[in-house]
Amino acid sequence: MKIFAGLLALFAVATAGSAGAGVAAVGNTDPASAVWAADPGGDGTQVDAGLPVGYRNPRSAEEAVRWALGQVGVNRDAGHCLRFVNLAYGRPSGPPSAYLVWTRSNPNLHRFTGPPPRGSVVVWSNAIGGGHGHIGVSLGDGTMVSTTSGAVSILSIKGYADSAYFGWMPPYFYM
């Protein structure tokens, strides 16, 4: 059964279409994503509500966004995007690679369509980032706060390594 699931996942990667605002997604589409995309308050409360029962980050999604925005322009964590995202959510450490946040989390948390809501994490595969992938904090408007090289900045999600984009999910770090 695991072999079949693996083959199905590979087929999904090979045939992935566009997701959301024209960003290619690795995986299948989930109609429930439309519910996630509509966060009427735009304050991350729906993102926090999507976390597994009993799991909580030290900072809420909105607190993480505010912290991350406060770091824009600061030269820190260059090449260590996951460290930056962990700190945004108040975690001193986390998984060893950004793409593992996606691959080791429950697939029911993964979203492939619709705009990533404010406070969700956006994740890219290990095809980029020297085999570690990439992760950022969504601002809910098609942009993310992230660190790559140099200063922390606000970047467009669409156009950032589209072919390696996994999708978005609540900030769950499986630890």
pLDDT of residue 39: 52
3-class state of residue 156 by DSSP:
strand
Its sign, for the CA torsion 57, 63, 65, 71, is negative
Spatial distance between the Cα atoms of 85 and 123, rounded to a whole number of angstroms: 11
pLDDT at 113 over 90: no
pTM of the complete model beyond 0.75: yes
Per DSSP bridges, beta strands 23-24 and 165-169 are unpaired
pLDDT of residue 162: 95
Which domains are present in the chain?
2-169 (3.90.1720)
